[in-house]
Structure 1
Amino acid sequence: MSKFRDFNLKLLVIEELMYGPEPLLPVYDLPARLAERGIGDPASYVLENGLHAEVLPESRAHFEALEIPTELLARVEELCFDAGADVFRHCAPAWDGEDDLFDVRSLDDLALLPNLREVTFVEDGVRHRHRLSPGTRPPPRPGKSAHRRPLARQPARPGAPEGSPHSLTVPWAC
């Protein structure tokens, strides 16, 4: 079993393996778990209890303890950085996507995904796809204050000079 250092990157992997078109892990269903405790609306529950700005402790405990076999990690070929990911709804049901709660702080764990070939970033409903060349990985995010950093030194648009404002950037907070 592989150990993730960045909880939020692990959540993106879980999104692919648990909530993707062909789930390979048992689905964690927060609304069903809360319904068992008599809580009908997860978003209202977190808002009424001041839990809207954090990952619910029971969700964090579940996902942190979740062991993902190496064989399943090898099946992840794409990751999507999208504030609308289902896994986020099961962690923070009232999250509005406007803060850094689910920002990935380190890309070091990408080494756990040997067959990752594409990363997609969604910003304001626009999908930005980036194909990874074999052996390449996006650079780690330097500091919490920087929300955008060049992903690659190749222009995002034909004819855009290297390092220009038109180079592909990573929207850390989608």
Structure 2
Amino acid sequence: MTQFKDFNFKLVVIEQLMYIDEKLTPQFRLADLLRERGLGDDPWEYAYQHGLEYKVVPEARDHFESLEISNELLAEVEELCMDGGNRIYQECAPVWDGEDDLFDIASLDDLAKLPNLRRVLGSEFLGPGFQDDLRVRGIVAD
């Protein structure tokens, strides 16, 4: 199993593979997981009832932390998109407005897991040092 050092980087990779390319299946829906566990079916309501506003819901974190992604799938990733509107963020933290650092990427150590990554959209959200790291690796930092 491929271990990621940065959970938030893994989320961006999952966004690409699960919600954009639809190659990593089944697609995760927090509402479905809550319903399966008898915890209701409204992620917003669940977050508010459990003091999880602007936080990652533990059940979502557990799911994505344990989600295995094959090296073959990782090798298919050619582009990533850094955007506060990514669906994965809604599934992790349904009451999140993008106004804090909850999903900021702290490390690019996991780039080596994506040998065919060619482009990162929204790279300005990574900060100038990280943008330089991408360019040095020959990755377009849009």
In 2, the alpha carbon distance for the partners of 1:7 and 1:70 equals 17
In 2, the alpha carbon distance for the partners of 1:59 and 1:38 equals 13
In 2, the alpha carbon distance for the partners of 1:122 and 1:105 equals 13
- Aligned identity (percent) is 53
In 1, the alpha carbon distance for the partners of 2:85 and 2:31 equals 17
Shift of 1:13: 0.4
- Contiguous gaps of at least 5 residues in structure 2: 134-140
Q: Please give the residue correspondences for 1:88-107 in structure 2 after superposition, counting only pairs within 5 Å.
A: 88-107=89-108
Shift of 1:53: 2.5
* TM-score using structure 1 length: 0.69
User: How much is the aligned-residue C-alpha RMSD, in angstroms?
Assistant: 2.3
Q: Please give the residue correspondences for 1:113-132 in structure 2 after superposition, counting only pairs within 5 Å.
A: 113-121=114-122
Alignment partner, residue 148 of structure 1 = 127
**More helix as a share of residues:** 2
Alignment partner, residue 55 of structure 2 = 54
SS at match of 2:121: strand
Verify: 1:19 aligned to 2:23, yes or no. no
**More strand as a share of residues:** 1
The structure showing larger relative contact order (alpha-carbon pairs under 8 Å, at least 6 residues apart) is: 2
Alignment partner, residue 9 of structure 2 = 9
Alignment partner, residue 65 of structure 2 = 64
In 2, the alpha carbon distance for the partners of 1:112 and 1:148 equals 21
Alignment partner, residue 136 of structure 2 = none
Shift of 1:122: 7.4
In 1, the alpha carbon distance for the partners of 2:44 and 2:78 equals 32
Contact 2:78 2:116 in 1 (8 A): yes
In 2, the alpha carbon distance for the partners of 1:58 and 1:74 equals 28
- Contiguous gaps of at least 5 residues in structure 1: 129-146, 154-168
Computing the radius of gyration over CA atoms, which structure comes out larger, 1 or 2? 1
Number of aligned pairs?
A: 133
